[in-house]
Amino acid sequence: MHKKKKIIFIFLITIFIPSCSNYNNGYKTDNQKASYIETAEDKYSDNISYMFSSDSAFVICYKTEMQTTENSIPQSKFFIYDLNNDKIVFEDKGRSDKIEWIDNTKLRVLKRPGIISVDPKKNLKLLGYIYDLKNNKKLPLSKPGNNQLQ
């Protein structure tokens, strides 16, 4: 009988130790997620969308107002949250932005320009920009394909 208890005891330990380890890892991830969600809810309250970089180091938290008869061109607002450092690294707002990740550290922001100029260089600025997280810089939509969402 003593041998059976020992086997059962070893069996239970081999089950519980890995499950405790997984619980702690999951708890850390939940806290990390909670901080960006909490920040987004504090800033925008509700109807928030989230878009992660492919390596999940950053998340874009964005909200677009509802289009109404009084508000025919709704405003969009967003921020980029660094999940590794738990902080906002960039924030912007504009008229109906379309946002997409180009790679892990660059995103393309397209805007509704409103009144368009005859100068093509000015139009590129009106149409949007590329944001580089590594260098914390807005880059112009200088190449012909840069203003197309894929």
pTM of the predicted structure, to 2 decimals? 0.67
Q: What pLDDT does 150 receive?
A: 42
Give the pLDDT of residue 125. Answer: 60
Q: What is the DSSP string of 22-70?
A: HHHHHHHHHHHHHHHHHHHHHHH-SS-EEEE-TTSSEEEEEEEPPP-SS
Averaged over 72-92, what is the pLDDT?
90
For the chain, the structural domain boundaries read 2-147
**Statement: residue 40 has pLDDT above 50:** yes
CA angle 24, 36, 92 (to 5 degrees): 160
Q: What is the pLDDT of residue 123?
A: 60
Distance CA 116, CA 124 (A): 10
Q: How open is the CA angle 74-38-63, to the nearest 5 degrees? A: 10
Contact 88, 39 (CB under 8 A): yes
- Residue 70's pLDDT is 75
Banded model confidence at residue 5, pLDDT cuts 50, 70, 90? low
Tell me the average pLDDT across 57-61: 95
